[in-house]
Amino acid sequence: MPTANHQADYAEIYSRSLRDPQGFWREQARQIPWIAEPQTVLDQDDNGVWRWFADGMLNSCFVALDQHVAHGRGDQTALIYDSPVTNTVEHFTYSQLLEKTATIAGGLVELGVTKGDVVIIYMPMVPETAAAMLACARIGAIHSVVFGGFAPKELAMRIDDASPKVVLAASCGIEVDRVIAYQPLLNEAIDLAEHKPEHVVMLQREQCEAALQAPRDIDWFAWERAASPADCVPVKATDPLYVLYTSGTTGKPKGIVRDNGGHAVALNYSMSAVYGVQTGDVYWAASDVGWVVGHSYIVYGPLFAGCTTILYEGKPVKTPDAGAFWRVLAEHRVKSFFVAPTAFRAMRKEDPSCELLSQYDISSLQYQFVAGERLDPPTYHWLKEHLDVPVIDHWWQTETGWSICANMAGIELLESKAGSCTLPAPGWDLRVLDADGKELGPNQEGAIVIKAPLPPSAFPTVWRDHQRYEDSYWSDYPGFYLTGDGGYRDEDGYVFVMGRTDDVINVAGHRLSTGRIEEVVAEHPAVAECAVVGIADAEKGQVPVGLVLMKDGITQDFDALQDELVQAVRGAVGPIANFKRAIVVPRLPKTRSGKILRQVIRKMIDGEPYTVPSTIDDPAIVDELLETLTAQGWMQ
């Protein structure tokens, strides 16, 4: 349980944020440079959506770059490009990044891009990608970053929905030792799309040069050299900064809209309050700019706060080994590090005793953050065993843009609990409700929702489809944002997010969280990683089955392992779970952001039609898994 002093400090700040949201966020808004400071802190728009700082004017690129140069910090390193796949490390000062960004912005202006136009960015983790995002913000254009290497059909849907005037692209991406050519994918996507962008600006990489198609395609380097720098364009706080697409249940991607003002205020606040960093500190989010983490905490958040941010083009393993992250932390003297748990599970699988850590001095590290998926207790305990810093699980979503729950390093560090993302961050009025909308008590699992108004940075709509915004997020519990995640709060109020609500299975009328069963399976000393899914059962409705990856170097009789896992689940969850089967698999299908494709696995076993999403890390894993399941007689 948290100490009384810590709880009082957190409680006071959190309580005030709900009691006086306008006063609380007005104070935070004063920490960023406005062109016209907002007089109205919170109001509702024509759709009835609560909006922050509606009469304020600013420019997000100015907040990220120009203000720091103006304050004499132009020589400070703004961005470190660390690319083990190309054996490259480059440092960009704030002045250098500003110059590059302003020039790219000028190039966009010369292509006819103006305030409110959309630019799709289809690029890998290179410095030009971050500069392109900031360049769009500089001229008031709306960027939509699509993960480099996305399949043509998925990219085409985004092109049609966003209607970009220009696409900024690179010739290829690099996945460990594999080069992925982007231009064939992009060309096919444009052929499939009804909307045709006027121009494609192509960044040629030496690993795979693209054949340009004049007059549509333009060479990036020649374009950048010929461009004149552009100044910042004032935009309203409620004007869109970017659109970021997430997968939708209907198959049509949802364009999550982020505004300029609330985004700048919330992210600037979060850098100190959540992550415990200040101007000049080195901060690293090991993600990709194709995801919201890359938007919030590779590009915008650290630069808003005047930090040094790291753009890493590599993997946690195989670039060159499971010590890759320790090398980056040591070499660049990182203070606060944020990564998805799946990265540490991959490292733990290849280096179970964390022997490679001893080769590096990571004494600069003060906070280890994880998010993107649930931090399973075994991974939490492995990190606690090997890192002499707080291990902080925090929870947020593409839709929110920053933490809903966190153990806030910059306010007071509370006692951590394995499996919990601690307590709601200021502004998030979190509740756990049953199917009838009744608030549940401690340790009762239900739907996690947030009472309106949502704090700054939360999305105000779905791009060009506000009805979908209302239907998907607000219709189930009127007045409450439906997160889509299920979980509970314990007697101390700590939040435990157990997974998406569609990962809840119904075993003989009893609703069980697959996340809880996964906790138990993952605790077995031979298991590196696991996924539990509910499959169809004629008698029980659904029953859970476990897919497990073994730690490297460990051999164990499968029948004995399965018996041990069954008994462990029986003891921890109870016979009600009806967990009786497990299988060892070589790999688990995941998205590039590390989320296990549980619904694909479930449908595969149940013999239902399934679609492999374009976000999958390696499509070959699905075929590999199908062969394993068939050989073991699992296919129904």
- My answer on whether 547 and 499 are in the same domain is no
Query: Is 345 inside any structural domain?
Result: no
Q: Report the pLDDT value the prediction gives residue 1, as an integer from 0 to 100.
A: 36
Task: Please compute, for residue 604, the number of CA atoms within 13 A of its CA located in the half-sphere on the CB side.
Answer: 24
* Number of domains the chain contains: 2
Residue 357 is given by DSSP the state G
Q: Are residues 612 and 525 in the same domain?
A: yes
576 and 616 assigned to the same domain: yes
Domain of 4 in residue numbering reads as: 1-20+408-462+473-507
In whole angstroms, what is the distance from residue 190 CA to residue 25 CA?
Answer: 43
Q: Do the domain assignments include residue 553? A: yes
Predicted local confidence at residue 357, as pLDDT = 98
Residues 490 and 569 in one domain: no
Flag whether 336 is in a domain: no
Among 485, 507, 529, the domain boundary falls at 507
In this predicted structure, what is the pLDDT of residue 4? 41
| CB of 428 closer than 8 Å to CB of 455 | yes
Is 573 inside any structural domain? yes
Dist. CA 214–CA 475, nearest whole Å: 48
Domain-embedded: residue 436: yes
Per-10-residue mean pLDDT of the chain, 636 residues long, equals 52 96 98 98 96 98 98 98 98 98 98 98 98 98 91 90 98 92 96 98 97 96 98 98 78 89 98 97 95 96 98 96 98 97 90 97 98 83 96 95 96 91 97 93 94 98 97 95 94 90 70 80 92 83 90 85 90 81 90 80 86 79 88 74
pLDDT for 8: 52
pLDDT in the model for residue 6: 46
Its sign, for the CA torsion 203, 205, 210, 212, is positive
Rounded Cα distance between 136 and 101, Å, is 9
Rounded to two decimals, the pTM is: 0.86
pLDDT recorded at residue 199: 98
Among candidate residues 489, 507, 525, the one where a domain is terminated: 507
- Domain holding 447: CATH number? 2.30.38.10
Do 495 and 603 lie in a common domain? no
316: which 2 tokens?
A: 């946690």
Strands (E), 95-183: 118-122, 142-145, 166-170, 172-175, 178-181
Q: Are 503 and 519 in a shared domain?
A: no
Same domain, 525 and 598: yes
Strands 430-433, 42-44: pairing is: unpaired
From the list 347, 341, 285, the residue with the least C-alpha distance to 518 is 341
485 plus 571 within the same structural domain: no
In a domain, 41, yes or no: no
* Residue 570 sits in the same domain as residue 523: yes
Q: Residues 526, 494: one domain?
A: no
Kindly state whether residues 501 and 538 are assigned to the same domain.
no
The reply to whether 42 falls in a domain is no
Residue 452 exposed, middle or buried by CB count within 10 Å (0-12, 13-18, 19+):
middle
What is the pLDDT, as a whole number, of residue 138?
A: 99
Let me know whether 521 and 481 are in one domain.
Answer: no
Distance between first and last Cα of the chain:
46
Is residue 501 situated within a structural domain?
A: yes
CATH classification at residue 540: 3.30.300.30
